[in-house]
Amino acid sequence: MAKTILFDLDGTLTDSGEGIINCAELALRHFGLPIPDRQTLRVFVGPPLHDTFVKFGVPEDKAEEAVAVYRSRYTTVGKFENTPYPGVHEMLQALKDQGHTLLVATSKPEGMSIEIMDKFDLSKYFSRICGATMDRSRSSKEDVIAYLLEQNGTAENMVMVGDTAFDVLGAAAHKIPTIGVSWGYGSVEEMKNAGAVAIAYSMDELLTLLNK
């Protein structure tokens, strides 16, 4: 039976860590905060930026300034320090050929997401690309999926694909199961603990799981 499949973007379809981490470092340096190692900064990939900057020591009332500094580089350079994961085009084409409907649900601002998807020739596989708003009125994965459902209708026979527990929990809030992917920036253990129904360790395995 054909499914409606929601895909996260960062860490699921594309490896966006380099650009995101470079921009996060710039913003932390702006406030004179310590710069953790790049492995630690991987947590900036996926969740809303405002919340993550607060966790790294930016005062709550300065978090929007941190996001603005981050975006000053990201919107011109950082968003393209990014590459699709090997095999992603072939996997998406196979799903399309099998009759599935593909949608993007990302916490990245929607306009930037569309630019990135267009740049890497990924948009052609998707019926709709849904993302966050710049003013944070829609920021979490739960918010984005709610917006997507308003446009798309029922969540019946729908599944989420993502690389973090945020994807699992955001989809679960709408009673949508999630298949986690191991190649992204989240923890497999955290995704399992959050309730992921399965974990894919390769593009081929993801394709098999989505066709069950």
What pLDDT score was predicted for residue 210? 97
Query: Burial level of 158, CB count in 10 A (0-12/13-18/19+)?
Result: buried
Q: What is the distance of C-alpha 60 from the center of its chain?
A: 23
Residue intervals of the chain classified under CATH 3.40.50.1000 are 4-15+83-210
Total-model pTM? 0.90
CATH no. of 17-80: 1.10.150.240
Determine contact, residues 105/145, Cβ cutoff 8 Å: yes
**How confident is residue 153, by pLDDT bands cut at 50, 70 and 90?**
confident
Q: How many CA atoms lie within 13 A of 1 on its CB side?
A: 6
Q: Report pLDDT digits (tens) over 161-211.
A: 999 999 999 999 999 999 999 999 999 999 999 999 999 999 999 999 999
Residue intervals of the chain classified under CATH 1.10.150.240 are 17-80
Question: What span, in angstroms and rounded, lies between the C-alpha atoms of 121 and 101?
Answer: 17
Mean pLDDT rounded to a whole number for the chain: 95
Residue 102 pLDDT greater than 90, yes or no = yes
For domain 4-15+83-210, give its CATH number from 3.40.50.1000, 3.40.50.300, 1.10.645.10, 1.20.1420.30: 3.40.50.1000
- Average pLDDT of 14-40? 96
Catalytically annotated residues = 8
Residues 6+ apart with CB under 8 A from 35: 25, 28, 29
Q: Which two tokens stand for residue 35?
A: 């710069």
In the beta sheet, which residues pair with residue 5? 102, 159
Pairing mode of beta strands 14-15, 83-84:
antiparallel
SS3 letters for 2-63?
Answer: CCEEEECCECCCEECHHHHHHHHHHHHHHCCCCCCCCCHHHHHCCCCHHHHHHHCCCCHHHH
